[in-house]
Amino acid sequence: MASDPVVQLGPDVVVGSYRIIKEIGRGGMGSVYEAMHTVLPRRAALKVMHTELRRQPGMATRMVQEAAILEDIRHGGLVRVFECNVLADHRPWIAMELVEGETLANRLHFSPKMPAAELAKLLSEVSDVLAAVHVRGIVHRDLKPDNLLLTPSDPCFPLRLIDWGVARLGPMGRLTLDGLTPGTPIYMSPEQATGKNIAAPCDIYSLGVIAYEALAGHPPFDGRTLAEVVCMHLSSEPAPLRDQCDAPAELCDLVHRMLEKDPSFRPGAIEVRQLTRTIAAEQTSSYAEYELSGIEELPTKTRPVRVRPAALAGPVVPSDEVVVVDPEALEFGVTEMVPVVRKPRWTPEIQSTLANGPASRADQGAAITPRAARDQVAGEILLKRRQ
């Protein structure tokens, strides 16, 4: 295998059923290209393992495992796999759904803190994905902002949980390289730091670290060295979240529960999903009420109005319109809501009409009524001339 010539990849190179357009990303395991199906009108993200990883045991297996996980679980928060195979130089590749969006890491880089309602919604969505994979015994093991792709305009699901290359498939599916613990130290659970009891609570802990960082503007543990950070995960308690943000107590308490050192004390993905959905709904409702409370209503006053049939008299004009007058209003009058109008500024034409009356019988229909006056104050005069 080491002597096999390396397949050179670039624009217009065909891999499987896909023609490469350009490289759009590069990660620890491989490069990602934008590609187009040679027959179907379908764009895809083509992920190809790095050449230097061919000689490392287990790396090819990890990449194939990622494709198997994404193919086996149908969830809107996971990218779809279209095709998977190996190149002539034995490097595996995956053609998967190409999703437009930005990572949470990029979002937090420009805006370190998230509103409580937005974070609660994000947690409910991530935990919904985790609930679907945890029930199958799959653990992601590398939850971090870089692996959360935000897709708010996507009709299927508002985010994608990506990079399943180091996931663990049940108790016998561990694919850890010798001397290497999967995960990112800042977001790593205590169990991952010791390499023991790797299970679903690991992902909950990592999600708790993400939530803490998004609310406080910084992760709960951040030392000068990676070893120092790992020691903090094992023995230190995070500073109270309530002192660093204005999030509701229920959300702060939930995040601290997710950061418990003992995995058995952490909530499961389903509980996190349910609690955060409730918190998000309450926060959104409170915000809407706050917004509405800022709307100032126009002052009004009421006055009784006596409507007389004579007031409705006028020239009889042939018309196809049918006007219905409530006889009860003619008999007893109505109560009219009149906006308080302060010193309206009349146009010269209206001032002349108010002072002198209509110039002729033909202009009688153009007389300014109280309704027309109010319309003028509102910025539009509605006059209906009768022929």
Catalytic residues: 142
C-beta atoms surrounding 125 within 10 Å: 23
Whether residue 26 contacts residue 51, with contact meaning beta carbons closer than 8 Å, is answered with no
The three-state (H, E, C) secondary structure of the chain, written as one string: CCCCCCCCCCCCCEECCEEEEEEEEECCCEEEEEEEECCCCCEEEEEEECHHHCCCCCHHHHHHHHHHHHHHCCCCCCCCEEEEEECCCCCEEEEEECCCCEEHHHHHHHCCCCCHHHHHHHHHHHHHHHHHHHCCCEECCCCCHHHEEECCCCCCCCEEECCCCCCEECCCCCCCCCCCCCCCHHHCCHHHHHCCCCCHHHHHHHHHHHHHHHHHCCCCCCCCCHHHHHHHHHHCCCCCHHHCCCCCHHHHHHHHHHCCCCHHHCCCHHHHHHHHHHHHHHHHHHHHHHHHHCCCCCCEEEEEECCCHHHHCCCCCCCCCCCCCCHHHHHHCEEEEEECCCCCCCCHHHHHHHHHCCCCHHHHHHCCCHHHHHHHHCCCCCCCCCC
Whether residue 167 contacts residue 138, with contact meaning beta carbons closer than 8 Å, is answered with yes
Sheet holding 159-161, edge to edge: 102-103, 148-150, 159-161
